[in-house]
Structure 1
Amino acid sequence: MKVNSKNDVLALAKAEQNARKKLRLLAVYHFLDGKNRTQIASMLVVSRRIVNEWIKRYLSFGLDGLESKKAKGREPYLNEIQKLKLAKFVEKQSVSATGGRLTGERIHRYIVDNFGVTYHPNSVYKLLESLGYSWITSRSKHPKQSQNNQETFKKVHPETILNTPFNVMPKDMDIWFQDEARFGQQNTTTRVWAKKGTRPRAVKQQQFEYAYLFGAVCPRNGRTEALITPYVNKEVMTLHMEQISKATPIGRHAVVIMDGAGWHTLDTVQPFDNVTLIKLPPYSPELNPIEQVWSWMRQHHLANKSFKGYDDIVNSCTKAWNCFISDTKRVIKMCTRAWASVGTN
């Protein structure tokens, strides 16, 4: 055992921020100063038994013996194998097509039936959180959606080469994501912060005026192009493709990825020799990050809002879009997809 000078121990006690450890250091200091254990207990207003324990730990292990012992805590109800089995059950139920939802009550029943362990209802949720699960809203998908088609589409490099001019190299291509959304008086409502026990009312109009926002994003550099119109057709789509064509620097080629809407046709890009159009697989809107942009605009600016008419809708959509694109880092982060790369830029 290393013997410390009483002055060293006193200096450590003065510098110690933990009140409990400070007491232990002061007890050792007084012990080294010649005080007996009864005197130390009286000076520090603690029991003689605890002073005996501190001095014993110091004499056996030095100053390391004065460190706080980590509480062992209660043994978990479920072992690691049981937790793994529970996790597989939750995973399976989260993608089940039988309908309904997996509730805490049902999980509790599964634990009781399979492991013979009873949890308090609140502890079930804490257990799920410790396993890495949270209560989140599921994403919808079309029943005809093909996962294989989506995975094939993500291997975008070969298809891009086949659909672009032979003289355009992959390193000179910029991938754009394009889509359009309808905003109007039949607006959405969204969650808001409010006092517990209340449910604030938001106006939901019954009129039918709308505007269509055509938006496109290039995640490589954060460039964006948008167009707001009262209707959708191939003529408007051609105008939007013209915007992208003009925004594409000389020497580069824009590969625009979009869904299969009726006005998303190849002739809308024929006037432009620096734009190629590629269609997403059917029923696969989640492959287009522009969908997240529409959601962001609604949540941050357009939901719970009453519009006076078409001009008000246009102005509100313009402000929402301009706010979104004002932060280039946000645009790039939200719209970048690892699979959407065709060369070294």
Structure 2
Amino acid sequence: MARALLKPNPENASILELKDAARIGSGETALRCTAIQMLVTGITRSQVCAALAVTNRSLRNWITAFNARGLDGLIVRKRSGRPPKIDKAKTQQFVDLIENPQDADRDFWTAKAFHGYISKTYKVECSYETVVRFFHKQGFALKVPQPWPDRQDEEQRQAFRQKLKELHDQPDLDIWFADESGFDGDPRPRRRWDKKGRKTRSTKNGDHIRMNVIGMVCPRTGEFFAIEATNVFTEMFQVFLDEAKKCIEFERERNILILDNATWHKCKTLNWHGFEPLFLPPYSPDLNPIERIWLIMKDRWFNNHISKDRDALIERLDKALWDLFDNPKQVKKTASIGKII
């Protein structure tokens, strides 16, 4: 009996059968069959352990199983695994609780807070890591909230959408969207992956450098026009309109220019050079598709990028703007108004 534990019984399977089983089996099944095959051909147990990087205990267990059941003893069966800590009966209940934190007198959930709550209230014994996996499995992700105004007038917004749809359907006019955006030389660092225990740093010398971009986009064609400015006020906005008149070749008879309600957009002395201004409802930046262009531009060109001086910031802005000028198809896709109307 002791001898059977040391060596596999060659009568239980031929070398050819072991080879076939190793070839068609799963990773661990193939490893077991290869180990027994090596032992049957006369290779010592110590050599097999070293060659296949397995322990002597594992090899002894495989030999025992092979001698008892032949090839069937080497086949890895599907393991049942441990039952989930959060069972199906509670899954939907917990998903509803995550989406409605007010039911637990909370404004929002963190994984740590949710773990403590279900442990105390529902007597669920699970680890914090289990709760994090549950969040991910149910389609939740850790996000930074976007500031959002609460003074919107939904009737005005709906009326604007209807007006925009009517204008969009007219073949003799183009719709343009204009806006201003600021670009910092030392933007706020965003979260990034780094090794635990390592101090994650971003350069900051205390100098605050900022430039502004005034731009307009035509969603139908993807044409984009912009100028850089140190500040934005009525005179600078007039310069923007003057330059737009010089550089843009209008394809249609009428050109509607949609803007927000900044004071310099409503100065009565402005020369619109043929543009017909139309103003957004108050507190409605989401109805201006050029906002999406600014977001992508900042993410691609200014995410954790530090400009040491104004010249470096202007150089970076130039590259970012030329990227938009040279890619009207991408601009057209980004500035689509389909989701607005």
Please name the residue that 2:273 is paired with.
Answer: 271
| Residue 51 (structure 1) aligned with residue 70 (structure 2) | yes
- State the match for 1:190 in structure 2: 189
Question: Helix, strand or coil: the match of 2:252?
Answer: coil
Query: What are the residue-to-residue correspondences of 1:81-230 with 2, within 5 Å?
Result: 81-93=89-101, 101-146=108-153, 149-157=156-164, 160=167, 170-183=170-183, 187-191=186-190, 196-206=197-207, 210-230=210-230
Q: CA deviation at 1:210?
A: 4.3
* Secondary structure of 2:182 counterpart: strand
Alpha-carbon distance between aligned partners in 1 of 2:72 and 2:18, rounded to the nearest angstrom: 19
Q: CA contact under 8 A between 2:167 and 2:173: conserved in structure 1?
A: no
In structure 2, what is the equivalent of residue 258 of structure 1? 259
Say if 1:121 and 1:149 are closer, same or farther in 2 by CA, change over 3 A: farther
The answer (yes or no) to whether the contact 1:24–1:54 under 8 Å persists in 2 is: no
**1:30-49 map, 5 Å:** 45=63, 47=65, 48-49=67-68
SS of residue matched to 1:263: helix
Say which SS state the counterpart of residue 70 (structure 2) adopts.
helix
CA RMSD of aligned residues (A): 4.3
Secondary structure at the aligned position of 1:170 is classed as coil
**Cα distance in 2 between the residues matched to 1:199 and 1:25:** 48
Q: CA deviation at 1:214?
A: 0.6
Distance 1:53 1:229, change over 3 A: closer
TM-aligned CA deviation for residue 173 of structure 1: 4.2
Alpha carbons of structure 1 residues 338 and 10: separation in structure 2 relative to 1, 3 Å:
farther
Alpha-carbon separation, structure 1, partners of 2:111 and 2:29 = 42
Q: Do the aligned partners of 1:205 and 1:306 also contact (CA within 8 Å) in 2?
A: no
For residues 316 and 155 of structure 1, the distance between their equivalents in structure 2, rounded to whole angstroms, comes to 39
Query: 1:78 is matched with which residue?
Result: 86
Q: For residue 262 of structure 1, what is the amino acid of its counterpart? A: T
Give the drift of 1:126.
Answer: 0.5
Distance 1:219 1:73, change over 3 A: farther
Structure 1 gap ranges (5+) = 1-5, 27-41, 56-65, 162-168
Matched-pair contact (CA < 8 Å) for 1:215–1:227: yes
Verify the 8 A CA contact 1:204 1:306 in the aligned structure 2: no
TM-score normalised over the length of structure 1: 0.67
Supply the AA of the counterpart residue of 1:76. Answer: P
- The change in CA–CA distance for 1:119 and 1:250 in structure 2 (over 3 A counts) is same
TM-score for both structures, normalised by structure 2: 0.67
CA distance in 2, matches of 1:194, 1:326: 35
Number of corresponding residues: 298
- Corresponding residue for residue 37 of structure 1: none
> Are the equivalent residues in 1 in contact too, given 2:280–2:287 (CA < 8 A)?
yes
Identity of aligned residues (%): 22
Cα distance in 2 for partners of 1:233, 1:98 equals: 43
Relative to structure 1, the CA distance from residue 317 to residue 251 in structure 2 (aligned partners, 3 Å threshold; closer, same or farther) is same
Q: Is the 8 A contact 2:287 2:340 kept in 1?
A: no
